[in-house]
Chain A
Amino acid sequence: MHLDLTHLGKKVLDEKLPDITDFVRTYLGIDPSVNPVPIQPTAHYTMGGIPTDVDGRVIMDEKNTPLPGLYAAGECATVSVHGANRLGTNSLVDLVVFGRRSGKHAALYVKNTDFIPLPKKPEDGIQATISDLYSGTGTESVAKIRLELQNDMMDNASVYRNQKMLINAKNKLLELKKRYKNIALGDKSKQFNMELFEALELGFLLELASVLVESAVNRTESRGAHYREDFSKRDDTNWLKHTLAYKAGDKIDFRYKPVVITKYLPKERKY
């Protein structure tokens, strides 16, 4: 598939889209003012999923109860101004408006809050995780598991999904999580250990992927960025609600939060 930008002309491309134009020239050796550009789907933005209120406070249940002291803003957060799909250029709202509101609120919170007592040895959990990774003697590598995770999520849980694909993805994730317990680090150094960093990150990616896949299995409708080939219509009767995911041992508990509708009614996107 190609994107034809030639009608814009060299001047407009250089002045209004300098970065995109530079990417095409650098990586493809193509001048987009002369030739069409080959394109493919990619992850351009993360519609985060950490639920917050309008002050960036992370909320922890169906009743919008804030988790004191924890804030999220930007791509990681879901304030819910975008509905089920962020449209082009609207990321600025998350950055400029809710970044600012969260910062202001966090500053106010810090001013009026004393240190809370810490549990005994709060660092124990993460230290155990890290020392397990250092002492792992398994046969699996971080890079190989991550590559399989990337391929599987691209094949089975990306733009178009159906029950069969998502169940495949779910099973693959179970396998990868099992194998993840059997990884070994080649780099045992303590300073700037980027492999350790990648290993920790992979653990989180596996958990996030499970949340994504399992909530997509549950949601038997299509809405916003979630498109089910086997349930192609929006179903407001059963699914006009937010998904909340909770870690419960090795499993995920799902709960649902009602959608607050004020001025604008949710509508089908017809373009």
Chain B
Amino acid sequence: MKVTYKILRFDPEKDKKPYFKDYDVEVEPTDRILDGLNIIKWYQDSTLSYRRSCAHGICGSDAMEINGVNKLACKVLIQNVGSHITIKPIRGLRVIKDLIVDMEPFFEKYRSIKPYLINDDSLPTHERLQSVEDREIFDDTTKCILCASCTSSCPSFWWNSMYLGPSALVQAHRFIFDSRDHGADERLEIVNDLNGIWRCRTIFNCVDACPREIKITKAIEELKRALLHKHL
């Protein structure tokens, strides 16, 4: 089938401001949005720039705004979007070139919640075991692939880029509720900030955007409750 990609282009080396460019592409209905981008780049206009790597929703490189919603280009089929496809870079992060944004502020927030095991007990001789029930408490938030679809869809983040954002909070949840980890208190203090969990206004854009279907707003609410219980 024939589809039209309308892509927001910007090359800082020669463009004063972003502009839309149209491309007609011949694709299969079962092709991914990413396949169409590749056809454009490889056979029509090699200057088109975007990130992609694994191409099946695991690496999290190709988050972009597709017809108004943040998605991974490799996880959306053409047949589910139709023949007019408008693509823009994800919002709230500086555009470096075309669909490539500066992810550094995003990863800085990720690092700030200490995304690693904190446990000063002496090294065990075997694995630190965990019950199935204990694992289930944070199973959902282990699925995050750091694609930034959620954070860049969040109006609270657009308005205030100091906000930690849903992704960093999902990561905080993943460690705070892990029975093997002892860093819950220090992490709860990090997210207990006007630019932490309290900036979340339960808009649910993040939940719509997440390609891993993580219940993000629920996770953030669980963090709020954990803090309440800790201070009561």
Q: Is B59 an interface residue (CB 8 A)?
A: no
Contacts of B49 in A (CB 8 A): 187, 192-194
Q: Is A186 an interface residue (CB 8 A)?
A: yes
Known A-B contacts A186-B46, A191-B97, A195-B46; the reply to A19 vs B11 at CB < 8 A is no
Known A-B contacts A191-B12, A191-B97; the reply to A27 vs B77 at CB < 8 A is yes
Let me know if B13 and A26 touch, CB within 8 A: no
Let me know if A192 and B75 touch, CB within 8 A: no
Q: Is A190 an interface residue (CB 8 A)?
A: yes
Q: Is B187 an interface residue (CB 8 A)?
A: no
Residue of A190, A191, A193 with most partner-chain B CB within 10 A: A191
Q: Is A143 an interface residue (CB 8 A)?
A: yes
Q: Is A189 an interface residue (CB 8 A)?
A: yes
Return the chain B residue nearest A23 by Cβ. B56
Known A-B contacts A191-B96, A192-B96; the reply to A186 vs B11 at CB < 8 A is no
* Least CB distance, A12 to chain B, in whole angstroms: 14
Residue of B42, B46, B75 with most partner-chain A CB within 10 A: B46
Contact of B47 among A23, A26, A195 (CB under 8 A): A195
Alpha-carbon separation in the docked complex, A190 to B43 (Å): 21
Within 8 A of B (CB), among A150-208: 185-187, 189-195
Q: Is B112 an interface residue (CB 8 A)?
A: no
Q: Is A22 an interface residue (CB 8 A)?
A: yes
Q: Is B58 an interface residue (CB 8 A)?
A: yes
* Least CB distance, B83 to chain A, in whole angstroms: 19
Contact of A186 among B47, B50, B75 (CB under 8 A): B47
| Interface residue tally for chain A (C-beta within 8 Å) | 19
Let me know if B11 and A185 touch, CB within 8 A: no
Let me know if B58 and A19 touch, CB within 8 A: yes
Let me know if A27 and B30 touch, CB within 8 A: yes
Q: Is B36 an interface residue (CB 8 A)?
A: no
Contact of B13 among A19, A27, A143, A189 (CB under 8 A): A189
Contacts of A23 in B (CB 8 A): 56-57
Contact of B57 among A22, A193, A195 (CB under 8 A): A22
* Least CB distance, B112 to chain A, in whole angstroms: 24
Q: Is B193 an interface residue (CB 8 A)?
A: no
Return the chain B residue nearest A185 by Cβ. B46
Within 8 A of B (CB), among A113-163: 141-143
* Least CB distance, A104 to chain B, in whole angstroms: 15
* Least CB distance, A56 to chain B, in whole angstroms: 22
Known A-B contacts A22-B57, A27-B77; the reply to A190 vs B46 at CB < 8 A is no
Alpha-carbon separation in the docked complex, A23 to B30 (Å): 13
* Least CB distance, A66 to chain B, in whole angstroms: 29
Contacts of A189 in B (CB 8 A): 11, 13-14, 47, 97
Q: Is B186 an interface residue (CB 8 A)?
A: no
Return the chain B residue nearest A193 by Cβ. B49
Contacts of B14 in A (CB 8 A): 189
Residue of A23, A142, A189, A193 with most partner-chain B CB within 10 A: A189
Contacts of B77 in A (CB 8 A): 26-27
Q: Is B45 an interface residue (CB 8 A)?
A: yes
- In the complex, per-residue mask of B30-45: 1 if CB is within 8 Å of any chain A CB, else 0: 1010000000011101
Return the chain B residue nearest A190 by Cβ. B13
Contacts of A195 in B (CB 8 A): 41, 46-47
Within 8 A of A (CB), among B70-94: 75, 77
Q: Is B100 an interface residue (CB 8 A)?
A: yes
- In the complex, per-residue mask of B95-118: 1 if CB is within 8 Å of any chain A CB, else 0: 011001000000000000000000
Return the chain A residue nearest B96 by Cβ. A192
Contacts of A143 in B (CB 8 A): 41-43, 46
Contacts of A193 in B (CB 8 A): 49
Alpha-carbon separation in the docked complex, A27 to B50 (Å): 21
Contact of A187 among B46, B56, B57, B96 (CB under 8 A): B46
Contacts of A194 in B (CB 8 A): 41, 49-50
* Least CB distance, A183 to chain B, in whole angstroms: 11
22 A-B pairs (CB sep. < 8 Å): A22-B57, A23-B56, A23-B57, A27-B30, A29-B30, A141-B42, A142-B42, A143-B41, A143-B42, A143-B43, A143-B46, A186-B45, A186-B46, A189-B11, A189-B13, A189-B14, A190-B13, A191-B96, A192-B97, A194-B41, A194-B49, A195-B41
In the A-B complex, list the 4 residue pairs whose CB atoms are closest, starting with the nearest.
A143-B42, A186-B46, A187-B47, A195-B46
Beyond A142-B46, A187-B49, list 18 extra A-B contacts (CB 8 Å): A23-B57, A27-B30, A141-B42, A141-B43, A141-B46, A143-B41, A143-B43, A185-B46, A186-B47, A187-B46, A189-B11, A189-B14, A189-B47, A189-B97, A190-B13, A192-B96, A192-B100, A195-B47
